[in-house]
Structure 1
């Protein structure tokens, strides 16, 4: 009987861990950044299921490690900033171990006619 109880307990523990892992994966941070023009960048932070995260922290960091801009996302879950002169990346940090990074080289203008709605709103 004890063997069956231990097997059931292990199965329940494994199921609980699987559900916890699935729940954690459902809310991974995602950052997308585009050029509005040659001098202006707009980034949006959300979860991987596209849930907006207004108030979440986003940083623009120089490659030497210096924080250039640190701000919270606005009501549209976006941050708009002047493109730095030096090499940089955008860090979207929603908590311990929950980060997304956008390298400067990945920031481009959206394809014509395919800009996301958050790019069209001021």
Structure 2
């Protein structure tokens, strides 16, 4: 029975997904969601410097995107997907 419960929990699990890319004029567009297809609308996104200071804070829109002006220097994008569901992308991994 314990094995059955474990399999049920695994089947219901979903992971966070975040992809960011640079658009025109150094605007960064991020698309967020979950592997089970559920929406990320309303979830927080932080843009942080290398010391983890929050430079920008926003929410994922109804279209599951968040767009911001890229800050100068290195930064990271953190999608706060809920309990244990945070994803971070480094600015060096964001491309056009």
- Which protein is bigger by CA-based radius of gyration? 1
Q: Tell me the distance in 2 between the aligned counterparts of 1:103 and 1:51.
A: 24
Q: TM-score, normalised by structure 2?
A: 0.90
1:80-95 matched pairs, under 5 angstroms = 80-95=67-82
CA RMSD of aligned residues (A): 1.3
1:18 to 2:11 alignment:
no
Shift of 1:38: 4.6
Shift of 1:82: 0.4
Q: TM-score, normalised by structure 1?
A: 0.72
- Greater relative contact order (CA < 8 Å, ≥ 6 in sequence): 2
3-state SS in 2 of match to 1:22: helix
Partner of 2:35: 48
Partner of 1:3: none
- Greater helix percent: which structure? 1
* Structure 2: runs of 5 or more not aligned: none
1:2-81 matched pairs, under 5 angstroms = 12-24=1-13, 27-81=14-68
